[in-house]
Amino acid sequence: MQVPRPSVREAASMYGTAVAVFLVILVAALQGSVPAESPFPYHIPLNPEGTLELSWNVSYVQEMVHFQLLVRDFKAGVLFGMSDRGELENADLVVLWTNGDRAYFGDAWSDPSGQIHLDSQQDYQLLQAQRTPEGLCLLFKRPFSTCDPRDYLIEDGTVHLVYGILEQPFPSLEAINTSVLQTGLQRVQLLKPDISTPTLPSDMLTMEIRAPDVLVPGQETTYWCYISELPDGFARHHIVMYEPIVTKGNEALVHHMEVFQCAAEFESVPRFSGPCDSKMKPDRLNYCRHVLAAWALGAKAFYYPEEAGLAFGGPGSSRFLRLEVHYHNPLKIQGRHDSSGIRLYYTATLRRFNAGIMELGLVYTPVMAVPPQEMAFVLTGYCTDKCTQMALPPSGIHIFASQLHTHLTGRKVVTVLARDGREREIVNRDDHYSPHFQEIRMLKKVVSVHPGDVLITSCTYNTGDRTLATVGGFGILEEMCVNYVHYYPQTQLELCKSAVDTGFLQKYFHLVNRFNSEEVCTCPQASVPDQFASVPWNSFNRNVLKALYGFAPISMHCNKSSAVRFQVCHPVCVLEAHTVGQVGNPQPHPQPLLGAQWQPLQLPTPLCPHQPSFHRCPV
């Protein structure tokens, strides 16, 4: 009986790579070289079993990613690739498969039904394949951009990697459907910034913050909280670096980790080690929110700039730290013990600047809401020119890292810097953002913010699976839109965020009530979430809410670390010869679009002492 072979068209499009099914050794001619620093600096386990391991290196000069895929238990093939949200449908793939006689390697794609097709443009280039003591090792490369509409554009931000394991031969590539394979996804930042490692101080000390001997629950998702304590009399130090400590063998279980410092006003915080959602968790752990360190799968050590460090310890600083570890256990493995955590590197020789963390985006309030059944609803928060003018030093601040944050419906986040009426540069952007993959990311380029600059943060949400409006708030089913920017020198400004003016939102509810047959609860006693719950979400009500968020005045929160607001005097704004606010009311805001220009409009009389009497409005 003759074994079926791939079609002539498929075979002709391959690199000509054909080997015996046992793949004792397979070597393709090297058509291009691996970057000089050949050891791959970035590694992640792709599947929970650890039988697929990905390593990679980035060449910004060539605009190329070099991949090394280790397959520890090769059966009949493997597929690897990328997709928008981690789906195996409409994915950009590279496939190694056998028909029972020969093995083939090729660039492919999957259609909406999961059927795999050979790509007419072969952009994954196989460099080497060989048997090693650990398993089959594939070395291949792929450009960032290929100009192929079937291919995924590799860009800054989160990348959803997908994989599949072929357990039996297939007669041809197009006989493979992802629905019958063992598949999965892993999230990672592929394009790591090419930044030189700063020089570390000679008197550097280390401290390990780790939860000892945790019995990892046999469930898919667990957030584990552990309280640690600094030594008595621990003086002020600067954190200059930190790195993960992952218990050997648990690399596929430990998804991300964060270290938080507790609020200084509490003289004591109870000891605790257990699930973060446990009813036994002390309430005071909820006041441990100041981020000291954050790591996610695939990230390496985090370094502060040589001139700055993150202060901890000493007067006015809490001695209590909370470690939070996210365990991702889709196989629901039982009996696994873990002692992972984060190692802090710190020095008693304080650097020139204290590093600070500032919150940008939207205030945690239900007045900012997303209607149900929305695929891409955008909400925007502002750090206005008046706030930066008052709160920042004359020389400005320098942002070197950023952590984006939403809850479950967030899909995209971007922060843009505007200066002199024009949006100048992107601070951080993630068009494939996932709330399940959050890390502090070093910026490729330090962004300087000067007094009078504006920082605009927009979040895009998908509420397609929800039947009620999703309001802003702290709950996991509520929403947030935040960018925690890491910068120096530290200032008193800790929170620079906005929300739509509450009075204008009430006018929206009255308008909805007036133009809809259903009665919308607009009585003063009703809470904003209850009011949103009573809105009939037809196209009119959706569009009016979008317009309200786009053009109504905003309430600005320009807060010090003490939670006291800076006294910012808000001007009115004239838009198309129409006054949209009153003196002292919150100010209207522009929609962010890089390169957009705003026009200064002169008002007849000064509104704030010693401040120019105009405000930039969208035109």
Residue 113 CB-density burial (10 A; 0-12 exposed, 13-18 middle, 19+ buried) = exposed
**Residue 561: band (very low, low, confident or very high) from pLDDT cuts 50, 70, 90:** low
Among residues 577, 578, 579, 587, which one has the least CA distance to residue 608?
Answer: 587
Active-site position among 43, 117, 405, 436: 405
Non-local (6+) Cβ contacts of 420 within 8 A are none
Q: Say if residue 12's pLDDT is above 50.
A: no
| Average pLDDT score over residue span 523-550 | 90
Q: pLDDT tens for residues 168-212?
A: 999 999 999 999 999 999 999 999 998 888 989 999 999 999 999
Per the document, the length of the chain is 619
Alpha carbon distance 408, 399 (integer Å):
27
Alpha carbon distance 290, 313 (integer Å):
13
Give me the pLDDT at residue 617, please: 37
**Residue 522: band (very low, low, confident or very high) from pLDDT cuts 50, 70, 90:** low
**Residue 544: band (very low, low, confident or very high) from pLDDT cuts 50, 70, 90:** very high
| Average pLDDT score over residue span 582-605 | 37
Active-site position among 223, 328, 436, 450: 223
Give me the pLDDT at residue 609, please: 33
Beta strands in 76-158 (DSSP E): 77-83, 92-98, 102-110, 116-118, 125-132, 135-143
**Residue 513: band (very low, low, confident or very high) from pLDDT cuts 50, 70, 90:** confident
Residue type, 427: V
Q: Say if residue 433's pLDDT is above 60.
A: yes
Q: pLDDT tens for residues 105-135?
A: 999 999 999 999 999 999 999 999 999 999 9
Q: pLDDT tens for residues 332-366?
A: 999 999 999 999 999 999 999 999 999 999 999 99
Give me the pLDDT at residue 256, please: 86
Q: Between the ranges 20-34, 68-82, 287-301, where is the mean pLDDT highest?
A: 68-82
Q: pLDDT tens for residues 153-162?
A: 999 999 999 9
Give me the pLDDT at residue 524, please: 64
Instruction: Tell me if 496 sits within 8 A of 385, measured CB to CB.
Output: no
Instruction: Tell me if 76 sits within 8 A of 167, measured CB to CB.
Output: yes
Among residues 403, 465, 412, 464, which one has the least CA distance to residue 434?
Answer: 412
Mean pLDDT across the chain: 84
Q: Say if residue 145's pLDDT is above 70.
A: yes
Give me the pLDDT at residue 612, please: 29
405 has catalytic annotation: yes
Give me the pLDDT at residue 437, please: 87
